[in-house]
Amino acid sequence: MPGRKLLGAAVLATLGAALWWRKNPSACPYGQRFWVEAPHPVITRGRLRSILRPEPGERILEVGPGVGYYTLDMAEWVGREGTVEIFDLQQEFLDHTTARAGERGLTNVVPTRGDATALPYEDGSMDAVALTAVLGEIPDPVAALREIARVLEPDGRLIVGELFGDPHFTTPAALKRQAAEAGLTWDERSGNWFAYFARLSSS
């Protein structure tokens, strides 16, 4: 039956593409931003707030904000006296997020462009770092985690969010391994194996 053959070919092509993406980490192109604009089940903004436990006045770094799914809320949580530094490989995502922040009247979102394996921030200068659906896109995730550990203040916390279905999904076990290599301590997890936030610390 031609219909079944076509369907089979489409399934195989999708699986092949997914496998290829897993083996070849690379940044989600701005043209495919509809993926990150969609609701993030389980790893909701409320769940992020519970595990991040942000305080007014804090300086928080978000690596790979995409279209700012979490950024605007984080900027509200730290208040006017706090700052959310957004750091991304792609200028389009930074522009998109800062434009949205401006529309919401937020003046504490600061964009910087670059690669997560070479962060342009001073040692110990961040109270917390957050990154969701980013780690698996970085060809050397341990190098990025080392950089994050460097910019975190002593006892600073790192929140890593992951969602199954993302071709670059990082399993909790892989994250634990990578974090240990980078000198980070695993503290807790919120969510389930398929969709989770992990909280790690730099101490």
* Residue 53 in tokens: 């436990």
**30 or 186, CB closer to ligand SAM?**
30
Strand runs labelled E in 32-151: 59-63, 83-88, 109-113, 126-132
What's the closest the beta carbon of residue 52 comes to ligand SAM, in angstroms? 13
Binding status of residue 196 toward ligand SAM by CB under 6 A:
no
Binding status of residue 65 toward ligand SAM by CB under 6 A:
yes
Interface with ligand SAM (CB under 6 A), residue from 51, 60, 72, 116:
116
Question: What are residue 110's DSSP bridge partners?
Answer: 85
What's the closest the beta carbon of residue 162 comes to ligand SAM, in angstroms? 10
Binding status of residue 198 toward ligand SAM by CB under 6 A:
no
Distance CA 138, CA 27 (A): 7
Q: In what order do the strands lie in the sheet with 152-163?
A: 109-113, 83-88, 59-63, 126-132, 152-163, 195-201, 185-191
Number of chain residues interacting with ligand SAM (CB under 6 A): 19
- Residues 128 to 187 in contact with ligand SAM, rule: CB under 6 A: 132-134, 137-138
What's the closest the beta carbon of residue 196 comes to ligand SAM, in angstroms? 13
H or E stretch at 167: none
**136 or 156, CB closer to ligand SAM?**
136
Distance CA 90, CA 31 (A): 11
126 in Cβ contact with 59 (< 8 Å): yes
What's the closest the beta carbon of residue 88 comes to ligand SAM, in angstroms? 5
- Residues 86 to 105 in contact with ligand SAM, rule: CB under 6 A: 88-90, 93
Using CA atoms, how far residue 179 sits from 15, 77, 129, 173, 186, in Å, is 29, 26, 14, 10, 7
**150 or 203, CB closer to ligand SAM?**
150
- Interface ranges with ligand SAM (CB under 6 A): 27-28, 36, 63-66, 69, 88-90, 93, 115-116, 132-134, 137-138
